[in-house]
C-alpha cells in the first residue's frame, strides 16, 4: 500500500468501531502473510530451478547410480531431484511376493516415481492456495469496511439532519472508501504473484516429469549400470 492509502487507513482505523478495526486488521494480516509467501516462494523457486539444472546435468554425467546419488546429495539441498532417484532405488530392497513388487519393473517404477514427484510438487506449490484466497477475497473484505463506514456516516446524518452539512458526509465517506483501496492494494500483488509463481512451478514440473520418464526408462531396461 502507498503512503496516502496507508495514512488514510490509519485515520479510518482510529475513527472506526470494532467491526471497522477488525476489517482493517484482517487486511493487514492478509497483506503481511501474502508478502511473506511471495518473497519466500520467489527465493525457493529460483533456487529449485537452479538445483534442477545442476542435478540433472550431474546425474547424466555420473558413472553409476551410487555416484549419481552422491552427486545429488551435494548439489540438490532442496531435494528436487534426489527424492525421485531415492524412490526408484527403493525398489531394490522391496520384499518379494508383495503388492509393492507386483507387476513388471516399468509399472513399479511408474508408481514410486509418481508418488515421489507428487511429494516434490506439493512442497513447491505450498502457499499458492493462500495467494489465491487473498487475491479473491481481499477486495470484498475492503468493500465490507467501506459499506460499514458509509452506513455509519449516513446514520450520523440521520441523527443530526437539522444541522446537515456536506462536510459531514465527504470526510467519513472518503475515509471509508480507503478500505476499498486497501483491499485492492492487498489483492493485486497476491494475484500477480500467484500467476507468476504458478508459471515457474509449471516449468519445474515439466522438467521433473521429463527427468522421471527418462529415469524410468533407464532403470526399467538396465544395461549393466552400476548399482
Question: What is the mean pLDDT of the segment spanning 153-170?
Answer: 62
Residue spans per domain, the chain: 3-220
CA pair distance 21, 14, nearest whole angstrom? 8
Give the pLDDT confidence of 162-221 residue by residue, as tens digits: 555 665 566 667 677 888 888 999 999 999 999 999 999 999 999 999 999 999 999 887
Could you give the residue ranges of the DSSP H alpha helices within 62-100? 65-75, 82-89
Q: Which among 3-12, 91-100, 146-155, 164-173 has the top mean pLDDT?
A: 146-155
- Of 183, 204, 60, 189, nearest to 120 by C-alpha is 204
Q: Give the mean pLDDT of the chain.
A: 84
CA gap 82, 70 in Å, rounded: 10
pTM of the model: 0.80
CA-CA distance, 190 to 197, in Å (whole number)?
10
Amino acid at each position: 500500500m502507498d503512503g496516502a492509502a496507508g495514512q488514510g487507513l490509519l485515520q479510518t482505523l482510529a475513527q472506526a468501531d470494532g467491526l471497522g478495526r477488525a476489517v482493517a486488521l484482517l487486511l493487514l494480516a492478509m497483506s503481511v502473510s501474502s508478502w511473506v509467501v511471495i518473497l519466500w516462494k520467489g527465493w525457493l523457486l529460483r533456487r529449485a530451478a537452479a538445483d534442477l539444472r545442476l542435478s540433472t546435468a550431474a546425474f547424466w554425467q555420473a558413472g553409476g547410480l551410487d555416484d549419481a546419488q552422491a552427486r545429488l546429495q551435494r548439489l540438490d539441498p532442496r531435494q528436487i531431484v534426489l527424492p525421485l532417484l531415492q524412490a526408484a532405488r527403493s525398489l531394490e530392497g522391496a520384499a518379494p511376493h508383495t503388492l509393492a513388487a507386483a507387476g513388471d519393473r516399468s509399472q513399479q517404477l511408474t508408481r514410486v516415481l509418481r508418488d515421489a514427484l507428487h511429494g516434490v510438487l506439493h512442497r513447491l506449490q505450498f502457499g499458492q492456495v493462500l495467494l489465491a484466497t487473498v487475491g479473491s477475497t481481499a477486495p470484498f473484505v475492503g468493500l465490507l469496511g467501506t459499506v460499514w463506514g458509509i452506513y455509519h456516516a449516513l446514520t450520523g446524518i440521520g441523527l443530526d439532519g437539522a444541522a446537515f452539512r456536506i462536510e459531514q458526509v465527504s470526510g467519513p465517506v472518503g475515509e471509508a472508501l480507503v478500505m476499498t483501496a486497501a483491499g485492492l492494494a492487498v489483492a493485486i500483488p497476491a494475484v500477480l504473484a500467484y500467476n507468476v509463481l504458478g508459471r515457474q512451478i509449471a516449468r519445474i514440473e515439466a522438467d521433473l516429469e521429463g527427468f522421471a520418464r527418462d529415469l524410468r526408462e533407464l532403470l526399467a531396461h538396465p544395461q549393466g549400470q552400476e548399482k
